[in-house]
Structure 1
Amino acid sequence: MTRSPATPLPPPKARRRLRETAALTQTQLADRVGVTPGTVRAWESGRTTPRGRKREAYAKLLKTLAEEAAVQAPEPEPKPKLEPESRPQPQPEAKPQPEPQPQPEPEPEVEPEGKSQPQPESQPQPQPVAAPEPVALTPAQAFDALYAFSAPALVRQTFLLTGRREQARESVERAFQAAWEHWPEVARDRDPVGWVRATAYEYALSPWQRLRPRHRHPEPPPADPGDRTLLNALLRLPPRHRRTLVLYDGVGLDLPETAAETEASTPATANRLLRAREAVAGRLPALADPQVLHRRLAELASNERLRAAEPPTVRRGGERRARLRTRAAIAFTVALVATTALTVRTAPTHYEPPVSPGQAVRGVPQRVAPGALSDEELELRQKLRDQMQDGPERLSPRLE
């Protein structure tokens, strides 16, 4: 199931570069678009995608920033003009040569019988080889190629974050299912593997994973004591520090890319990296060297036999999940409309006061209905009729 985006947007890294070129902070850009700074961080890291009116405003603002950056860029130096080539000098006309006289053809020599003159063999001429035309891949083929290329490595990296094999495999599958759902955007991204990696890490480190029944049962640790000690040291780190350490020392990203993927500033990312290295070196002093730490992380991830599912299985699972969500949304909408219609149909149109409970009456009840007026009431009514009904005289008090 694929959807085409309404408005094209530059890749997440280009969005951040345009903002930094314009000397805007995430808070300033969020105020101009009308969102929160956290939303801008998610857009620049590629974790989420703007939609609706926010997408139109964000795309328009990025286009304006790109035009301003193009205007402020220094103009290229003009290339030096080449001197005009000297025209070729006319060659003198060649004098006509006399036509050669025909020479008599020599008579062919007759060879004796039994001997044959060898004929020269004709050598085949090499034919020019045409370059093969590029074959356009279908969306499913491109997705399968991306999955086969990056899924095994992503599963091993996610295992370093969670320490659970099934959770790492499920996180990567969910990330690729989300990528297949937003495939037009992921296919045009400069780093589709980074898009999937950020989604997989977010799902793997979600706090809701602790509420699942499977999380209560621990998985068997690695067989090697050194790998088990390193994995325990990683799992004791805070999730943000652990993710920063895996991205920088495990995957090999630089500091700005790690900061963009973790949705943090570059100084904060550097501080997290230093604290994570100090914590690991405090438990394992042999890993104080970053090169040794990088090699040990790669060995720990490679020693585990982690297999990813087949690409068609992941695509079908994502499409099945999308169909279930669509059907659930349709069913909920139909139920809500039916409930609203039933409420409107059965709701009263006017207020009906409740009937008070009956009471036992003893003696003569008081007069509650209009009847014959007494002499005092008749006198009062006549007095009110004789007086003026409006004017200041009615408002001013009088002594009788």
Structure 2
Amino acid sequence: MTSQTSPQAAGGVDPSRSTLKATQRLRQLFARYKILALLIAVAAIWLFFSMLTDGAFTSARNLSNLLRQMSITGMLACGMVFVIIAGEIDLSVGSLLGLLGGVAAILDQGLGWPIVATVPVVLLLGVAMGLFNGWWSTYRGVPSFIVGLGGMLAYRGILLGLTHGSTIAPVSDSFVLIGQGYLPRRVGDLMAVLIFCLLIFVVIRQRREHRRYELDVAPLWQDVAKLIAAGAVIVAFVATLNSYGGIPVPVLLVLALLGIFSWIASQTVFGRRIYSVGSNLEATRLSGINTDRVKLAIFGLMGLMCAFAGIVNTARLAAGSPSAGTMGELDAIAACFIGGTSMRGGAGTVYGALVGALVMASLDNGMSMLDVDAYWQMIVKGGILVLAVWVDVISRSGRR
């Protein structure tokens, strides 16, 4: 009778243990370099569509249009990422975008309001409607999913009632500039220099803060390499857009929102509370933080982003359409998940959500250029959304 010896007793390696270690290393690498992986995915998508369109996809004109299209989803994603980090969801953002864009068109074209009055009123209305959604969810106890679902139907109905189902056009030339205007080339160059200087300041400040609190400081060459890479990207970005018409105004607005929301998330008490609420709601409440007030503010910011997106969308189309914003909520949610925001809440970044929005816009733009049927576009985007959530699941639980 022969005796069986375990792999450990025989001096071998347990296959299951080695597989587990490999899986853990893969998860750590993905968590650390998630944004890099997303940027590589964007580059692969651009290369793929560029080859199929004989370079038309990566032309300066198309990239300018692509970024302009992405800006609307990006604005929604800036607000949605906070909502999801806090453990909530908002399905009404697409309809609210359409409604606020329609209101902007009515005020501008129908009532003849000047742009300096129209824009603030629409922004305030967006904040008020976002707070209304948040009030139902936080203080009345209605699940945010249901509040968003009801808003998706109600806001679309209000829009159809206000517009009588017809397009409101044309809006004024000054309003159109918000969605179709470009920065002068010299202003774009100056902005690139200022952004690069800001990056240098941020890196220097982080190194000083780490030394001050006796934390690990990255090697100097590593930070220098990051700055060189960032500088190359900024130069290529500005040079490409300047070769067509300049930096589009909506893209500038998204970049400004990216900076503001990233600062809120990483440098403010409110930002830390957002992550805390999503990580452990009960512990955050017991620590003395008014979690309902935090969530209410998040929904108010979401309404503000819907207002920005609605204004830009109306200006880009030069008209208020009753179908504007259709499926916008799904694009925003997908952008957040693709960008690494956890479906469980408590984790996510604004810049990751914007890269996710760029992925979605690139797929839309590329498949449209190839004249892919609409149903195939929906299938591809739906599959990518499921894949993004699956990656989040395995990166946190170790499942295969």
TM-score interval, normalised by the smaller of the two chains: under 0.3
Q: Which has the larger radius of gyration?
A: 1
Higher helix share: 2
Query: What TM-score, normalized by structure 1, do the two folds share?
Result: 0.22
